[in-house]
Chain A
Amino acid sequence: MAISDLLGGFADAITPVNLLFALLGVLLGTAVGVLPGIGPAMTVALLLPATYVLEPTSALIMFAGIYYGGMYGGSTTSILLNTPGESASIMTALEGNKMAKAGRGSAALATAAIGSFVAGTIATLLLALVAPTLVEVAIGVTTADYFALAVLAFVAVASVLGSSPLRGLASLCLGLYLGLVGTDVLSGQERFTLGIPQLSDGIDVVVVAVALFAVGEALYVASRLRKGSVQVIDHKGSWMTREDLRRSWKPWLRGTAFGFPFGVMPAGGAEIPTFLSYATEKKLTKHPEEFGHGAIEGVAGPEAANNASAAGVLVPLLTLGIPTSATAAIILAAFQGYGIQPGPTLLTTEGPLVWALIASLFIGNAMLLVLNLPLVGLWVKLLKIPRPYLYAGILTFASLGSFAVNADPLDLVILLGLGLLGFAMRRFGWPVAPAVIGLILGPIAETNLRRALAISDGDLSVLVDSWFSRVVLILALLALVGPVVLRAVRGRRATPAELARDQEEDREVQKAANREGWGS
């Protein structure tokens, strides 16, 4: 049944227009993955206004392409420039850059690209297989269960993304507050609008996402602009040899096995599976002496894990409507822009759309494999754009996206205000993603909570009525208390002085790495 649905999805995705949007998406995605300072979350946020003019299928196919493309682009810069744009690429940079320095850059790029393709394809296949089954389970989920899931997502996102759970919570609070502003859906009452008529519709998700991701980033980078450039290692040497392939295929598969489940879990993220994959490959390899000096297994495994987790993130998004990463949250906002509410019913109400999206992920993956290796030179050229133009350009697109929402200059002033908030959060080390997830998931959580309590006539015990919600809430409690308990057990290490010393050590390492890579 799923197979015929998937084939139907392919039929929809292979129309010339949708192929074009898939191509546009993967090209844009790779470009922003390569460019410093721009990530897939920011790009999808900047392109959210496209939902006003494009068909839902086309727009979502493009966004999915951006999401996957960003992963590929990140590995390119990690290998050739040793600048891992995100924590999930650190492991790739570790071995990949060493390989490039040893004249095996092409092999590193190839194993990363093919590994990403293999992992992406397998993980997307798993997504296609798991989604219908999960939906059948989820269809029996009550509003109370749904509220529990949202709480789990909040807690997991706040405590995992970012440096400290408290700062994640602070960011989450800001997002929840922004989500409260406007007219209450259930009662029609205005809340926290300060009497400003434009606020009665709420603060637009586009404006908040663009402000926190794009404007905040531009302001923050401007305040501490790096001077100097990094050395690009020539990607010379042969592409993969038979030996490389023999050493790569098992790490690809193992990496996929690590990445996918972590992606499916709320806030599992891509960081932990890449670390796990690296550690595993280091243990299993027949060439332990090469680790730290450019071992191909150390690129193949983590890169596969990274991509597989990206596909895993789509499972809770498409089956439950729960975003577990910033990009997923903004894709959810895109769904909402079309009046579609992701959730257990998505697959039945919007089946063709979802299957076309999944099919386009396969297509996008194949496109990335074909395009990425020959185009590496082009991507590196992109990095010659001077930073002043790059960040001025980001602000240009931020203005475009936010102004297009309502054609109201006031939106741009709000955009700047929230951008300054994003700037401050970056300075304080408050992660931005929980705020966006709180903004998008907060109203969903509130609605479900109140519906659940309305059905039970205000009896709070309804929230822990089912096994499902009990398990989920206990998981949420664990995610919240776990880090605190861990710290208590570890005891001594948590004193500020020791923390500072730890951090100082890390900083020295970082500095040494910088000295190696950065100009003056």
Chain B
Amino acid sequence: MSVVVVGYVPHPRGRAALEHGVLEAHRRGASLVVVNSSRGDALVDEEFVRGDRLRALHDELAATGLTTEVRQPVRGRDAAEELADVCRETGAELLVIGLRKRSAVGKLLMGSAAQRILLDVDCPVLGVKSPPREA
């Protein structure tokens, strides 16, 4: 069975990626692997889903009727590396990621996780922007 991987963060861009991931998985008859990783190097990481939010995510995934799995690696590595790992391991057909809106200067300063992902990951990558009203 083919696999669609989604890089998920609890932001509008992550929601958008998840929506498109679900659509793509239905279209391809594939199973869905949702990845939400944390470097785990700070006491607080608000992008790491847990507690009520994690339960809500599981409920939401169950309602899609797809075969789904949530992976939450915490190994001190960047999201790009974790996603590349999961894609390689599952032999993913497609990776869906959310893109944040950023100016050229911001990009210069902060680098870009999306760029790292494009360079690291071997399978096709679908980049989704968050809906404009929520951005």
Contacts and interface: CB of A to CB of B under 8 A. Distances in A.
A/B: CB atoms within 8 Å of each other: yes
Contact of B41 (A83, A231, A386): A386
A388 interface: yes
Interface residues of A, number: 19
Interface of A: 36, 81, 83, 227-233, 380, 383-388, 519-520
A387 B41 contact: yes
Nearest to B43: A383
A520 B40 contact: yes
Interface stretch (B4-12, B22-30, B45-53): B45-53
A229 B46 CA distance: 9
A384 B42 contact: yes
A265 to B, nearest CB: 34
A125 B18 CA distance: 58
A227 B76 contact: yes
B74 A228 contact: yes
A385 B40 contact: no
Contacts of A81: 43-44
B111 to A, nearest CB: 15
B88 interface: no
A231 B39 contact: no
B50 A231 contact: yes
A384 B44 CA distance: 5
B31 interface: no
B57 to A, nearest CB: 14
A227 B43 contact: no
24 contacts: A81-B44, A227-B75, A227-B76, A229-B45, A230-B43, A231-B50, A231-B51, A232-B44, A232-B46, A380-B44, A383-B42, A383-B43, A384-B42, A384-B46, A385-B42, A387-B41, A387-B42, A387-B43, A519-B38, A519-B45, A519-B48, A519-B50, A520-B72, A520-B74
The 10 closest A-B pairs by CB, nearest first: A383-B44, A229-B45, A386-B41, A228-B40, A520-B74, A227-B40, A383-B43, A386-B42, A384-B42, A231-B50
B42 A229 contact: yes
Given A81-B43, A388-B41, A520-B40, 13 more contacts: A227-B40, A227-B41, A228-B38, A229-B42, A229-B43, A229-B45, A229-B48, A231-B50, A384-B42, A384-B45, A386-B42, A519-B38, A519-B50
